Structure 1
């Protein structure tokens, strides 16, 4: 079933908004419920992985469930998303992400507009974001190649895992990074640190695309003479 661009854009904005609301909202809730940082991170991780499974399953058939400018860039370069639509997707994702942050603040009766003071910078953080985005994009491309029906679970489980094995807690998404800059909470990131995160995420995504393009390509066997 083919959906027109307006519906796809609403789906991308809605999906990204719900994703960010889950990330920021669960971070606020976890921070309120415990002073144990590890337990708070767990409380932030599980809802994020779970909501990804739900969103990709329900919204994926409409827009492809990118919810991520790095993913949209890869699909545009692979000519699987029209160039004109790709730019509109990115705008919808960023707007939706920021709206999701504001919604999370409203639910917890916090000031709607905030600027994060949570410092996330340094070589380790940047390498972690490169790895996180690389793994996410490679998971998507490999999943599409071998088990398209499993994509929701593959992505949800990957992000759940990457929260814990990356130093940055796996943003892996420029729109999410921008949105989290507007939340001075557990899930926030200082605006000054966002550009480096975005660069690392895009580099990781492009590296994954390049490797997947070679690794997952079918080898044509020479016909027996």
Structure 2
């Protein structure tokens, strides 16, 4: 990992670009799909898969390409993320990711002539969606930790693309993404009243995915992901 300042910039830029792509492609897809939600979701999925692959490939050498608070926390707990500045750096990573997610939402709103600062009214609630979000996050942590060396970007992007369709929540799997999506009243948005439960489900899923990945390594340490 590069010096902390560069790593923080990479996490901010990466998370902002990710949320800009997720929200922006959702707005574009909704406008062009003629009310067909399936077509809109497909377009949203493809944009997310492509941007994830690009961002991980380009920013992984600088920061590890976390772009996600639960990824940062779980890697820290496992000992795979060990910055010299300790827990201060971990907190700074999370702040950079959350602020980046919000800025990405503002940028997407601005590009499509929507109010730059607005809250979503799209309610996403219920046990089905919470379970879906836990499954999506568990799967994300699992594939991050078990991906063969050099293939993480492709495997993570492929998993998120699949999880958009096989989970009821459409796979946010990222508290920073939840915060960012609160600020766009669009196809990809989430109402602030729904955000807390989504983030709680993500934390549960992250723990379960990390535990499963550890159980399957037969006592051997997993590869260093920093």
User: Would you say same fold, with TM above 0.5?
Assistant: yes
In the other structure, the counterpart of 1:95 is: 99
Distance 1:165 1:63 in 2: 30
In the other structure, the counterpart of 1:222 is: none
- From 125, 142, 145, the equivalent of 1:141 is 145
Distance 1:194 1:157 in 2: 25
CA-atom RMSD, angstroms? 0.9
Shift of 1:83: 2.3
Distance 2:194 2:214 in 1: 31
Distance 1:158 1:50 in 2: 12
In the other structure, the counterpart of 1:29 is: 28
Say which one has the larger Rg: 1
In the other structure, the counterpart of 2:198 is: 197
Structure 1 residue 121 corresponds to structure 2 residue 122: no
* TM-score between the two structures when normalised by the length of structure 2: 0.93
Shift of 1:211: 1.5
Q: Deviations along 1:191-224, whole A, 9 cap, x unmatched?
A: 01101100100110111111211211346xxxxx
Secondary structure of 1:149's counterpart equals: coil
Secondary structure of 2:15's counterpart equals: helix
Distance 1:195 1:218 in 2: 35
Structure 1 residue 71 corresponds to structure 2 residue 71: yes
Post-superposition, which runs of at least 4 consecutive aligned residues in structure 1 deviate over 6 A? Answer: none
* TM-score between the two structures when normalised by the length of structure 1: 0.94
Shift of 1:94: 0.2
Point out the more displaced range, 209-218 or 164-173.
209-218
In the other structure, the counterpart of 1:105 is: 109
> Number of residues paired by the alignment?
215
In the other structure, the counterpart of 2:216 is: 215
Distance 2:95 2:49 in 1: 24
Q: Deviations along 1:123-144, whole A, 9 cap, x unmatched?
A: 001000000000000000001x
Q: Deviations along 1:135-185, whole A, 9 cap, x unmatched?
A: 000000001xxx120100001000000000000100000000010001100
Secondary structure of 2:28's counterpart equals: helix
